[in-house]
Structure formats: C-alpha cells, structure tokens
Structure 1
Amino acid sequence: MSERIDAPGDPRQSGDAPGDPWPTVELLYSWLESNPVHDGRELLLLRLLKLQEEVGEVAEAVIGVTGSNPRKGTTHTWDDVRAELCDVIITAMVALRTLAPDARTVLAAHLAGVAERSLDTRRG
C-alpha cells in the first residue's frame, strides 16, 4: 500500500496552480531524500535505473493490452498503459530534480528548445 504524503504545505491542499506537477515532484524528491537507502553517485544511478524499470512496465502493459504474448493473452488495459506512462514522467521528473535543483527551469528551457527546433521546421 502506498504511503500518503500529507505534509504541511502539501500542494494538493494549497492554492498552487492546478495541474502544476512541480510542487508534488518536490515533495516526492524530499521524501526520497529523507529516507535514503543509498547516497552519492549510487543514489543518482539508481534513480536513473528506476526510470528504465518504469519504461519496461510501459512495454509490459502494451504487450498485455495487445495480447502479444500468446501464453498470457490480454492482461492489461489502455488505462494501465496510461498509468505506466505517468509513472515514467513522474520518475523522470524526480530524477531531473535529483540532478538539478532548478529542474522546472531546466525542463522549461529544454522543452522550448525542442519546440523551436521541431515546430519551426513545420512552418517553413
């Protein structure tokens, strides 16, 4: 069973912008940091490996929703795939926060660069 995070200043209880994931990412990051199993470089590497684990769960769900494993048949739904994709995004955001205290700014700048490169080529 997952543990609830109901800390003072919990963004789910505050007036923070609806849909802004960063306050919750910060809470998750702080929670992980306050319950360390490893530290230093090992902690960082394990957070990055966790991302690969989550991506594998997306693959497992897609295989399950398409019934591609004849031994197992259809084992998942598209809701399962969506949930696993959300786990990938959350895990990536926490990993980015581990690497960069200003993760929000780093992501926004990178996203703007990707959009400029990608969308500008369509306009021309």
Structure 2
Amino acid sequence: MSDPTDATDASDVTDVTGATGVTGTPEAPPTPDTPAIPDALDPWDTVTRLHAWLTAHQTLPPGQEVLLRVLKLAEEVGETAQAVIGATGQNPRKGHSHTWQDVEAELSDVIITAMVALRTLTPAAPEVFATHLHRVAERSLPKPESRAD
C-alpha cells in the first residue's frame, strides 16, 4: 500500500495470503512467553509519529485530511469483514482465503487508523480517548464491590 492517506503503511506487518486448513474458529491467544513490543507500551507516541509522517506527505488541504482519514477507516473495516468472510470460508468462489491472524491484523489496522484519524482531529487525542473510554466503562461495566475490611 503506497497511498499517502494510508494510516497503516508503517505498521502493516501481516501479508493477507491464502491459507488452507482454516477451521473457522479463532486460535488461542498468545502465551505469556510472547515478547512485549515496545510501541505497545506507548501507542500514542507511535500514532503521533504516524500522523506526522502522513501530514508530511499530505497533498490535500488540511480540512480534507480528516475526511480522508475517516474514509480510510471505512476501508479498513471493509478489509476486516473480507478477512472474516475468508477465514470462515463463506465465499464459495474463494473458500478459506484468510486466517484468523489476518483478521487480527485487519482489526489492528482499524484501531491504528481510528487512532490516527482522532489524532488528526485533535492533538489531545490520548486525553479525548481516555475520557471517552472512561465514560463508556462507567455506563457499561458493573461497579466494583467495595469491601469493608
């Protein structure tokens, strides 16, 4: 992918290839022995660097930058749907064309692209996201029981 509006160029590490033997169920999560990836410790630093890289290669007016990043998000969601269809073998013409690892990679691309789009909209993206996540958790998750010791 060489499109300068592609927020995931620098992060795509999984090639979507045809795979055989896909059972239609996700594989087990990685073991605790899986090495930690440094960028996972501070993803917003990486997102800020990706945003700067994309901005440096942007040829459109700044107002259109956000619109194209949101459209890129829609594209990535479509690629995720395609990978799920391929992992479950639901297209008779293509069969099992993807793996669940492909789905993981595509979902990761969705997250990265959404983070870059949010960062394009506001430099306070980490705070905006954290505040919104807290609101969602407050209204959705059960309150922890207080323990009287």
TM > 0.5 fold call: yes
2:61 corresponds to 1:24? no
Q: Which residue of 2 aligns with 1:78?
A: 100
Note the 1:4-23 alignment, pairs <5 A: 19-23=41-45
Determine the C-alpha separation between the residues in 2 that align with 1:97 and 1:66: 34
Hey, what's the Cα distance between the residues in 1 that align with 2:41 and 2:87? Answer: 28
Q: Does 1:68 align with 2:97?
A: no
- The 1:17/1:53 distance shift into structure 2, 3 A limit, reads closer
Amino acid at match of 2:129: L
Query: Does the 8 Å CA contact 2:10/2:50 hold for their aligned counterparts?
Result: no
CA distance in structure 1 between the partners assigned to 2:40 and 2:67 by the alignment: 32
Amino acid at match of 1:82: E
* Cα 1:31/1:82, change in 2 over 3 Å: same
Q: Which residue of 2 aligns with 1:39?
A: 61
> What is the TM-score when the length of structure 2 is the normalising length?
0.69
RMSD value over aligned CA atoms? 2.4
Q: Structure 1 residues 4 and 118, CA, compared in 2 at 3 Å: closer, same or farther?
A: closer
TM-score (norm 1): 0.82
- Decide which structure has greater helix share: 1
Alignment partner of 1:97 out of 92, 97, 119: 119
**Number of corresponding residues:** 113
Identity of aligned residues (%): 58
Indicate conservation of the 8 Å contact 2:119/2:125, yes or no: yes
Q: Is the 8 Å Cα contact of residues 87 and 99 (structure 2) preserved in structure 1?
A: yes
Question: 2:141 matched to which residue of 1?
Answer: 119
1:36 alignment partner AA: Q
CA distance in 1, matches of 2:123, 2:113: 15
What amino acid sits opposite 1:26 in the alignment?
Answer: T
Structure 2 unmatched ranges of 5 or more: 3-8, 12-37
